[in-house]
Amino acid sequence: MSYTKLTYYVCFCIPRKFKVTVAEAPLEIKKTFDRFSENGIMTVDHLQSFLVEIQGEDEKTSKEAAQDIIDNFKHLNIFHRKGLNLETFFKYLFGDLNPPLSPTLGVHHDMNAPLSQYFIYTGHNSYLTGNQLSSDCSDVPIIKSLQRGVRGIELDMWPNSTNNDVDILHGRTLTTPVELIKCLRSIKEHAFSASQYPVVVTLEDHLNSDLQSKVAKMVTQTFRDMLFYPGSECLEEFPSPNSLRNRIIISTKPPKVYKETTSLEEKKNYPRNEKKSTEEEEEEDWGGEVADDLKHDFGIHDQNGQDVEEDHQYEEDQHQSDPEYKHLIAIHAGKPKGGIKQALREEANKVRRISMSEQELEKTIINHGTDIVRFTQRNLLRVYPKGTRFDSSNYNPLIGWMYGAQMVAFNMQGYGRSLWLMHGMFRANGGCGYVKKPDFLMNVDQVFNPRDNLPVKKILKVRVYMGDGWHLDFHHTHFDAFSPPDFYTRIGIAGVPGDSIMKKTKTIEDDWTPVWDEEFKFPLSVPELALLRIEVHEYDVSEKDDFGGQTCLPVSELRTGIRAVPLFNRKGVQYKSVRLLMRFEFV
C-alpha cells in the first residue's frame, strides 16, 4: 500500500501528519479477480466471463467489450501485454469505463405514444435566478435548464412599465424583469442542445389583447418552422414525442380578457424580511429529508381558497381576444373549477392540461386518487410548488409521478434532496427529458393505487464497498481541521410509500478512502418508479454533519454487477474524482 501525506495543525502550533492511503482493492474484489484470472493475469476470455457472470452483460457483445476495456489500459506502465493484472482490473472497476447506468443505451423507450404517456422534465418559474421574491429574472437559468435536458419551460408574461411591451417576471414581487423576446430567442437557440424531443413552453398570461397580439408575432417570428400548430382548436389526442422532434409547443389558457383581482399583494403577505437561522439555511441547502407521508400544508390561499399561482379572474369575451395568439395554443390549460370531479372529467373528443399546486394535489388524492390516474391516462396534469416556497425549494416529486402527473414542475435553480430525485428520474431514457410512464399507470381496467398493500416484485441488493476521491476534490481541512474525515453513507429508496426507506453504513474514522463493505436489501413493490438514493456525509460530533456527495439513480436502469458510482455536489454538478465502488443485484 502506498501513501501520500497531509499535514494538519493542532492549536496552530503542533503539526500532525495523517497518512492518506491510496485506494486498494477490497477483499471481495481480490477474490473475484482470482476467480476470473490465471497466474495473476485476466485475459480477454477471463474478462468476458466476468462481464457475463458478474456484470450481467450480453454474451454476444461481451467479447468485444472485454477487448475494448483491455485496450484502454495499454498506455499505462502497469499494463501487462496478456491482459489485466489486479491493479489494472481494480482501476477499470473504479473508473469512468464502468458507470452504474449504461453510457450507450441512449433513448430506448417507445417514443411513439401520446405525450400524456410520459413523465416530462418540467421547470417552474424557469426565468428566476434565485428566490421567488427578489431575485433577478434572466434567460440564463432557462439556458441552463435546456442544456440539462429540461423539456418544460415556464414564462410569466406581464406588461412592462409603459404597457407597450412584454416582460417576464414573478408578478407582484420584487423580482427584476427580463424581456420576453430575450427569453424566446434563448429558447430557440438552446431548445435542442441536449435533446431532440419537444419543448413545452408554458405561458402564464397576464396580458391584454393588444399585448397578446404582440406575443403572437414574437413567438411566430422567433420560432418559425420550429413551432407546432394544432390542426384544430382542441386536440383530440396529444401527438407523440417522436412526431414532435425539434418542435416547440405552446401551452396556456385560452385567451380571455384579464381583470385584476384586488389586494392580491395583501393576500400573499410575503414575509420579505424574515431572518432564518444558520441551521435552517443549511437544511434548505440539503433540501431537508424528503417527506414520504402526505402532509396537508395548504400554504397561501386567496379568499376563495385557491392557491395564489394561476389564480386570476377572467371575463369571457372572445371578440376582444387575439385570434393569432389563440391559434398558437397547442395544449389548452386551466385550473380546476367547479369541483374536482368536474375538473377531472373525461371528454371524448378533447384533451387538455390542468394545473394543481402540490398541496392541492395532496388534498385531492385522499378521495380522488384513482380519478387523477384515469385523467392522466389521456390528459396532462401539471403540479407546481406551493406559494410559501419563497426560497425556491421543492417538494417530493413522487407524489405527482405515482398518480400519473406528467409535468411535475420544479424550481431548477435551487438545490436539495427533492431536486436530486428529479435529476435521478430524468437520467433515465438517455437523459432525453421524456420517461415513458409504467404500463400500470395506463391500465384503464384496474386503476393503480400506490397506497394499496402491493406485493414485492423484486429485491434490490446493494453492497457499498468503499469510496475515494475526496482528497483530490476537497481541501485537506474542508471536513476537519485537525484530522482526516469520518465518512458514512446513507442509502435508500424513494418510491411509492411502501418502498421508501433510508439506511446507513457505519462511520469509518480518520480515513480519506473509507472501506465500509456493507450490504443492504430493498424489497420493491413498484420498482418501475423507484429511485436509488445515495448520500455521503462526514460525521461531526459537535456540529451538523458535513456533506460529502450525492447521487440518485433510476432503479429500472441500474446495471447489475460491480460499478463505479460518481457523486455530485448539492447543485447536481458531478465531482471530478469522488465516487463509490458498489455492487447491484436483483433477486
pLDDT in tens, 271-280: 334 444 433 4
pLDDT of residue 321: 63
* Average pLDDT score, the chain: 88
Supply the DSSP symbol for 39: T
CATH 3.20.20.190 fits 115-254+321-441, yes or no: yes
Which of 96-100, 234-238, 478-482 holds the top average pLDDT?
Answer: 96-100
pLDDT for 402 beyond 80:
yes
| Side-chain-facing half-sphere of 276: CA atoms under 13 Å | 12
Query: Which residue among the candidates 46, 124, 423, 537 is catalytic per the annotation?
Result: 124
Distance CA 587, CA 443 (A): 26
pLDDT of residue 414: 82
Choose between 406 and 263: higher pLDDT.
406
Residue 576 C-alpha from the chain's centroid? 20
Residue 449 C-alpha from the chain's centroid? 23
- pLDDT tens-digit map of 411-429: 999 889 999 999 999 999 9
The four Cα atoms 330, 336, 342, 346 give a dihedral, to 10 degrees, of: 30
What are phi and psi for residue 302, nearest 5 degrees?
A: -90, -170
Distance CA 495, CA 396 (A): 10
Alpha helices in 292-357 (DSSP H): 323-328, 340-343
Confidence of residue 80 (pLDDT cuts 50, 70, 90): low
Distance CA 196, CA 469 (A): 35
Q: Which amino acid is at 197?
A: Y
Query: Which residue among the candidates 170, 206, 312, 423 is catalytic per the annotation?
Result: 170
- pLDDT tens-digit map of 456-466: 999 999 999 99
At which residue does the C-alpha cell 435552517 appear? 280
Nearest C-alpha neighbor of 489 from the set 439, 420, 547: 547
CATH for 453-586 is: 2.60.40.150
β-sheet bridge partners, residue 333: 353
Q: Are 472 and 518 in contact (CB under 8 A)?
A: no
The alpha carbon dihedral of 49, 50, 56, 57 has a sign of: negative
- pLDDT tens-digit map of 472-526: 999 999 999 889 999 999 999 999 999 999 999 999 999 999 999 999 999 999 9
Beta strands in 53-117 (DSSP E): none
Convert 341-362 to b/e letters by CB count within 10 Å (16 or more is b). Answer: eebbeeeeeebbbbbbbbbbbb
Report residue 240 as a C-alpha cell: 407523440
β-sheet bridge partners, residue 301: 307
Distance CA 483, CA 19 (A): 10
β-sheet bridge partners, residue 42: 84
Q: Are 436 and 429 in contact (CB under 8 A)?
A: yes
pLDDT for 17 beyond 90:
no
| Side-chain-facing half-sphere of 139: CA atoms under 13 Å | 15
Q: Is 170 one of the annotated active-site residues of the chain?
A: yes
Distance CA 192, CA 197 (A): 7
Distance CA 357, CA 419 (A): 17
pLDDT for 255 beyond 70:
yes
pLDDT for 450 beyond 80:
yes
Q: How far is CA 364 from CA 290, 316, 336, in A?
A: 20, 28, 11
Q: Which residues contact 71 (CB under 8 A, 6 or more apart)?
A: none
* Among 5-19, 240-254, 403-417, 536-550, the least confident range: 5-19
Choose between 329 and 14: higher pLDDT.
329
Q: Is 296 one of the annotated active-site residues of the chain?
A: no
| Side-chain-facing half-sphere of 552: CA atoms under 13 Å | 26
Average pLDDT estimate for 74-82: 71
Distance CA 246, CA 138 (A): 24
Distance CA 147, CA 208 (A): 33
Q: How far is CA 434 from CA 106, 196, 307, 374, 414, in A?
A: 12, 11, 28, 20, 21
pLDDT of residue 317: 41
Average pLDDT estimate for 85-107: 96
Q: Which amino acid is at 195?
A: S
pLDDT for 327 beyond 60:
yes
Report residue 542 as a C-alpha cell: 459537535
402 φψ region: left (φ > 0), alpha (ψ -120 to 50), beta (else): alpha
Task: State the span(s) of the chain assigned CATH 3.20.20.190.
Answer: 115-254+321-441
Q: Are 281 and 387 in contact (CB under 8 A)?
A: no
pLDDT for 394 beyond 90:
yes
- pLDDT tens-digit map of 548-559: 999 999 999 999
Residues present in the chain in total: 587
- pLDDT tens-digit map of 30-53: 999 999 999 999 999 999 999 999
Confidence of residue 19 (pLDDT cuts 50, 70, 90): low
Nearest C-alpha neighbor of 38 from the set 74, 83, 81: 83
pLDDT for 18 beyond 90:
no
Q: How far is CA 459 from CA 203, 524, 573, in A?
A: 43, 6, 30
Nearest C-alpha neighbor of 537 from the set 489, 570, 574, 572: 489
At which residue does the C-alpha cell 456525509 appear? 537
CB neighbour class for 267 (10 Å; exposed up to 12, middle 13-18, buried from 19):
middle
Q: Which residues contact 484 (CB under 8 A, 6 or more apart)?
A: 6, 18, 20, 510, 511, 512
- Number of C-beta neighbours around residue 67 at 10 A: 13
Question: Which helix (H) or strand (E) is 220 found in, with range?
Answer: helix 209-223
At which residue does the C-alpha cell 397506497 appear? 451
Task: State the span(s) of the chain assigned CATH 2.60.40.150.
Answer: 453-586
Distance CA 160, CA 137 (A): 13
Q: Which residues contact 424 (CB under 8 A, 6 or more apart)?
A: 494, 531, 532, 533, 551, 552, 553, 554
β-sheet bridge partners, residue 583: 463, 562
